[in-house]
Amino acid sequence: MIPALPVPVAALRNARLADGTVADVRLDGPLVVAVEPPGTTAHGAGLELDLDGFVLLTAPAEPHAHLDKALTFDEIAPPLGDLPSAIASFHTYAITADEHDIADRARRTLGRMLANGVTAVRTHVNFSPGPDALAGYRALATVRREFAGLVDLQIVTLPAEDTPDDVHEDAFALGADLVGGAPHLWPDPIAGTDHLLDLAEALGVGADLHADESLDGPVTLARFAERARGWSVGRSAGHCVRLGMLPEDELAVLVDAVRAADIGIIGLPITNLYLQGWEQPVATPRGLTAFRALIDAGVRVAAGADNVRDPFNPLGRCDPLETAMLLVAAGHLSPAEALHLVGDGARDVLGLPAAGPRTGAVADLLAVRAETATEAIAFASADRFVLHAGRLVAASVLDSRVAEPVRDVVLTATDPGAA
Ligand SMILES: [Zn+2]
C-alpha cells in the first residue's frame, strides 16, 4: 500500500547497502542521522519502510538532459541517423513547438525520471528557431516550479551560433543557471568557445558546454580547460566523444589539463552510442568519452542519458540504471564505478551536496528490489522507493506473476522432448 506522497520518512529498515551490509537508516528531516545495525534503531514518530529485499543507493542525478526535446520521436518520425541529421529533423519541428507543448513533454519526462529514482536533473534548453525564442525557458521555469521539493532542476542555455547575446541573457532573467552551447559544431569552434566563456564570466555564472561530440572533429575542451583554470563557479563538459578517439599521449595531456581546471566530464553512453559511427559500418567505434583515463586520473566524472525518445535517441527509459548498464557493457567500468557516475559522481559534477545512506548526508535515496548492487543494474527492477530530502516522493510496487513450471517431469520414449 503506497501512502499519499510526498510523506516524511523517519527510518528505513533492513536495507542492503552497496557494500553488501544490511543496515537501518535513521532520518531527521532532510538528513541521514544514523546508519545502524538492523534492529537497533528505536521506533519513533513518522513513516518507516521495511526494505528487506531492496538495495539502498544514493538517488541518481541526471546530469545532462534535453527535456525540451524529449518524447518527440514518434511525432517527428525522423530518419534514423547521425547528429547532423537529428539536428535538422528537430529544427523543423521546433519552429512550431509552443511553450505548452514543451512544458507538457518536459513534465511527463521528469515524472518518469522521478519514478525511477532521479531527484536532480540538469537540462539544456534550446532557443526556439520560431518567433518565440524563449518559449523553452518559460516552459522549463514553469516545470521547475511544479516539481519544487520533488526534483532539483538546473537549466543550462543552448544557444545557436547566431543567437544574439541579449536574447541569450534574457534566458537568465527567466531562470537559467549556467551558460551552455555546442561550439564544436560552429564554423570557428575555438572562437565560439571563447565567446560562451566570455559571456559566463560577464554574467558571473558557470558553464556546462557540449564539447567535441564527434569522432574526428575539433578539440574545444583544451580551450575550455585553459580558460576555466582558477574559476570558482561550476564548470563541466558533456559528451567529449573526441577524447575516446585521441592517441594515448595526446589524451594524457588533455586529461591533465581537465583535472587542473577541475572541469567535470559528463559521459552520455546511450545517445553517443546511437549517434556516433554511422559512417563506419565495419568495426564501428563506440563513440564514448575516455571514461577509464578520466577516472584513473582523478577527474570528476558523471554519466547520464542525454536525449530521451527524440530524433537524437529514439529509445531511453529515463532510468539511470540503463546508463549504468551501458557504462559496464560498452564502457568497461565496474558496476561500482557505474553506480558512482550516475549517483554520487553526478551530484558532485552538478554541485549538489553529498547524498546517500551515510551519516550526515542528504537523504536523497533510491531503494531498488535486488539482492546486490550489481543485480540492481542488471535487472533494474521497477520495484522502487525514492526519497528526496528525507521525504518519500515516488514508490512503485510491481505485481508480477509467472506460472510455476512443473518439476520432476518424467520423459518417456514417446515424448517429443525426450532425447
Ligand atoms: Zn546534449
Structure-model confidence comparison of residues 42 and 313, the more confident one: 313
Q: What mean pLDDT comes out for the span 101-120?
A: 98
Residue 417, pLDDT score: 57
Evaluate whether 7-59+356-396 and 61-349 have a shared fold. Answer: no
47 and 104 in contact (C-beta within 8 Å)?
A: no
Q: What is the whole-number distance in angstroms between the Cα of residue 304 and the centre of ligand 1?
A: 10
Nearest-5° Cα angle at 341, 392 to 105? 60
Q: What is the whole-number distance in angstroms between the Cα of residue 13 and the centre of ligand 1?
A: 39
- Taking each helix axis from N to C terminus, what angle separates 165-173 and 189-203, rounded to the nearest 10 degrees? 40
Query: What pTM did the predictor assign?
Result: 0.96
Q: What is the whole-number distance in angstroms between the Cα of residue 271 and the centre of ligand 1?
A: 9
Q: What is the whole-number distance in angstroms between the Cα of residue 190 and the centre of ligand 1?
A: 19
Q: What mean pLDDT comes out for the span 291-314?
A: 98
- Give residue 2's pLDDT band: very low, low, confident or very high (50, 70, 90): confident
Residue 130, pLDDT score: 87
Alpha-carbon gap, residue 361 to 364, rounded angstroms: 8
362 and 348 in contact (C-beta within 8 Å)?
A: no
The per-residue b/e assignment along 89-112, b for 16 or more CB within 10 angstroms, e otherwise, is bbeebbeebebebbbebbbebbbb
Q: What is the whole-number distance in angstroms between the Cα of residue 357 and the centre of ligand 1?
A: 30
- Summarised one tens digit per residue, pLDDT across range 139-159 is 999 999 999 999 999 999 999
- Summarised one tens digit per residue, pLDDT across range 193-245 is 999 999 999 999 999 999 999 999 899 999 999 999 999 999 999 999 999 99
**180: pLDDT strictly greater than 90:** yes
Residue 118, pLDDT score: 98
In 3D space, the residue among 253, 256, 336, 341 whose CA is nearest the CA of residue 291 turns out to be 341
| CA R_g for the chain | 23
Which CATH class for the 7-59+356-396 domain?
mainly beta
How far the first Cα of the chain sits from its last, in Å, is 48
Residue 415, pLDDT score: 62
Residue 418, pLDDT score: 52
Residue 410, pLDDT score: 75
Q: What is the whole-number distance in angstroms between the Cα of residue 64 and the centre of ligand 1?
A: 6
Q: What is the whole-number distance in angstroms between the Cα of residue 3 and the centre of ligand 1?
A: 36
Give domain limits for the chain.
7-59+356-396, 61-349
Q: What is the whole-number distance in angstroms between the Cα of residue 376 and the centre of ligand 1?
A: 26
Residue 128, pLDDT score: 94
Q: What is the whole-number distance in angstroms between the Cα of residue 173 and the centre of ligand 1?
A: 22
Residue 45, pLDDT score: 79
Task: For domain 61-349, give the fold.
Answer: TIM Barrel (3.20.20)
- Summarised one tens digit per residue, pLDDT across range 355-383 is 999 999 999 999 999 999 999 999 999 99
